Structure 1
Amino acid sequence: MSEVVSGHPRFTPQLVGHEAAERGFLEAWNGGRLAHAWMITGPRGLGKATLAYRIARFVLATTEDAARAATDGAGLFGGSPLFDPATPPASLDISAEHPAARRIAAGSHPDLLVLERGVDDRGRPRTEITVGEARELRPFLGQTSAAGGWRVVIIDAADEMNRNAANSVLKLLEEPPAQALILMVAHAPGRLLPTIRSRARRLALAPLDDARMERFLTTRLPELAPSRRAVARVMAEGAPGRALTLAQGQGPELLAALIACLDTGWPVPDWKALIALGEAVGRPDALEAYETLVEAWGWWMARWLRAHARTGGIGEEVIPGEARLAARLAGARPLEQWVELWDRLSARLRQALSANLDRKQVLITVVAEFAAASG
């Protein structure tokens, strides 16, 4: 079972359940065939960033141990089995007390650069990784490693780069510096340039099944109400990190509020409640809430469309009123029309992130159009 410890992935030394992906990396490492770029793919919350940090921790700790062993005969932590052909490493495990691990946890390792969304001039979180941020990679990778070994870049997430940033990274992938390792987390690899995808080796992480998710949540959050646990399990779709976020965050409540807006005055939305919801996710400091709502609505639509295609129903109801809303949508128009409509509306919802549009107005307009199509 994959276990994702809450908190930032750089503090998370263990990740259980993705042994196949780890073996793929270790086989390349032990065989001297290490690709310079790796793409770790799968839905949000599976542990992709945690795996990227595990790889970075392993590579940098191994490099430091090798340098230490070369000067005094053995590393502080016994050296690295990488340099003894009889005992190649069988795991990415590195002690949390290793100097490299401690520096990574502190965000101060000189041979690790993390590329992620920053903040704008007003201190607000950006909606994408910019070209200015991406250009930091070239001078970093052009420097000599502090330990005389590898320099590692984690891009979290690569599919959040804008086009100019992606092109800047592509140039590095085309002519990678020696002993440079680029680890790209990708929630939606299809959004990346095909030329980037073709230059990276893929490590695909798979979701957990329901039984493992139930055990994971019961173990990690034993005091969580069964109803809340069920919502988190169903909405997470096999992603344990996402399940923790849902269990402790706003996702279920925001989705329930949206469904209530659509269901209460059917087929006309509850305008007062909709405006209140728009204001809640449209404030300058509510970018995360808006992203959570968009993701939750997208999850619900995908769930309903799949269920409707198979059985015509929604299955297990985890959000109040969703079964009734699903039945109403099913009777309003054919399935293929809903797919086409949602593709268009969801693109507009996401555009509010990339184009810094008025999120409140975008949400109200999209919900109104969705409701009009339902009536």
Structure 2
Amino acid sequence: MTAGELPEPRKREGLAGHLAAARMLAADFAAGRLHHAWIFAGPRGIGKATLAFRFARYTLAGQAGFLLEEPASAPLHLPADDPVFRRVSSGGHADLRVVEPAGARGEIRVDAIRDAFRFLRLTPGEAAWRVLIVDGADSMNVNAQNAALKLLEEPPPNVLILLVAHRPSLLLATVRSRCRLLRLTPLDRPEFDEVLRDIAPELDDEACARLFAVAGGSPGTALELEQLGGRALKEAVDALLDLLPAIDRQALDTVAAAVTVSREAAHFQAFGRILSASLAERLRTARTDAALLEAEAGVSRLLERSTALSLDRRQVVFEIFGGLARTVAGRGEGVSA
């Protein structure tokens, strides 16, 4: 699987999950009671941006009159051969602006929001509406959020603003208060499998099950893990956990090398997610006890601390398994954080 196989939200025709949310948006639009600003909130990789682009296309196409003709299983649907779909997919629709994090710090700066403000003040060129999608809205810095607040307080007519946020708590309270909050949840197993099979049909039931357990119902996260060798890493982590309190030093060294192969944090973050999922699986079985529950909490704290303080990742891996070994052996020291 290559990075090119990860679908861009603007190009996805289908929608897995979030049907109730889509129906509600379609009904509000058709009834003429659509709020001008929304926050689509939820974990990363569950389809928030996909829904935002789906709603944007629907709005730009003026689909309200077709609401009753839509199948219940496909609200807000616009076919991929529709001219509006094609222009949104290519980034060429005159009435849609998309703002995303940029630069080395991965943030949205005030200039991008001010430029979007000027765009929304223009008369629509193709449709009756102008639409702004801020994907990663929780990456706006304070100045950008203050600029967004002015736009939210005084929106032009026939403007739709969609803020896609993984962590809406990072948005200013005043920004949140001027938007309707739409909380989206991780996909259930059939919905999750539908997305993965559409993108990576080579994945079998066992692979989908393993990825679902680790990714928590987030297809985007699952595909990232797959690209990083997540299934092989989970097998290696599970093998180390099964040996506790003994430690296979060579196997542990291999895992530590795999998760520190790059200076970027992606592999280490994948390790943290996989380890947390594997410990959670054990906490649901009769093989575990209260000591492991406390150790799991210590692992979570240490992973968070290692990210915040840029600790030596290789040393963190060894400390985690050393602490787990002590816990299983009943020596009580556990995982320190």
TM-score norm. by structure 2 comes to: 0.75
Q: Amino acid of the residue matched to residue 313 of structure 2?
A: L
Whole-angstrom CA distance in 2 between matches of 1:114 and 1:219: 25
Cα 1:176–1:215 shift into 2, 3 Å: closer
Partner of 1:276: 257
Deviations 1:20-43 (A, max 9, x none): 111111121112111111122232
Whole-angstrom CA distance in 1 between matches of 2:278 and 2:146: 34
Partner of 2:37: 37
Whole-angstrom CA distance in 1 between matches of 2:52 and 2:10: 9
Quick check: 1:30–1:88 contact (8 Å CA) kept in 2?
no
Partner of 2:333: none
Runs of 4+ in 1 over 6 A off after TM superposition: 257-265, 267-271
Cα 1:273–1:242 shift into 2, 3 Å: closer
Q: 2:279 aligns with which of 304, 309, 316?
A: 304
Quick check: 1:39–1:203 contact (8 Å CA) kept in 2?
yes
Cα 1:250–1:137 shift into 2, 3 Å: farther
Partner of 2:150: 171
Cα 1:114–1:296 shift into 2, 3 Å: farther
Whole-angstrom CA distance in 1 between matches of 2:179 and 2:103: 28
Cα 1:213–1:111 shift into 2, 3 Å: closer
Return the offset for 1:8. 0.7
Whole-angstrom CA distance in 1 between matches of 2:13 and 2:198: 18
Task: Give structure 2 stretches of 5+ with no counterpart.
Answer: 327-337
Q: Amino acid of the residue matched to residue 280 of structure 1?
A: V
Return the offset for 1:193. 3.0
TM-score norm. by structure 1 comes to: 0.68
Q: How many residues align?
A: 315
Quick check: 2:228–2:267 contact (8 Å CA) kept in 1?
no
For the pair 1:103 / 2:87, whether they are aligned, the reply is: yes
Cα 1:11–1:302 shift into 2, 3 Å: same
Partner of 2:118: 139
Cα 1:243–1:103 shift into 2, 3 Å: same
Deviations 1:121-164 (A, max 9, x none): xxxxx433334433432222222222363221112122233344
Partner of 1:7: 7
Aligned-pair identity (%): 37
Quick check: 1:251–1:293 contact (8 Å CA) kept in 2?
no
Q: Amino acid of the residue matched to residue 110 of structure 1?
A: A
Q: 1:160 aligns with which of 139, 146, 150?
A: 139
Map 1:344-363 to 2 at 5 A: 345-349=303-307, 351=308, 362-363=312-313
Q: What secondary structure is seen at the aligned counterpart in 1 of 2:146? A: helix
Return the offset for 1:345. 3.5
Partner of 2:210: 231
Q: Which moved more, 1:264-273 or 1:163-172?
A: 264-273
For the pair 1:339 / 2:262, whether they are aligned, the reply is: no
Whole-angstrom CA distance in 2 between matches of 1:39 and 1:168: 16
Partner of 1:69: none
Return the offset for 1:341. 5.8
Task: Give structure 1 stretches of 5+ with no counterpart.
Answer: 63-79, 121-125, 314-326
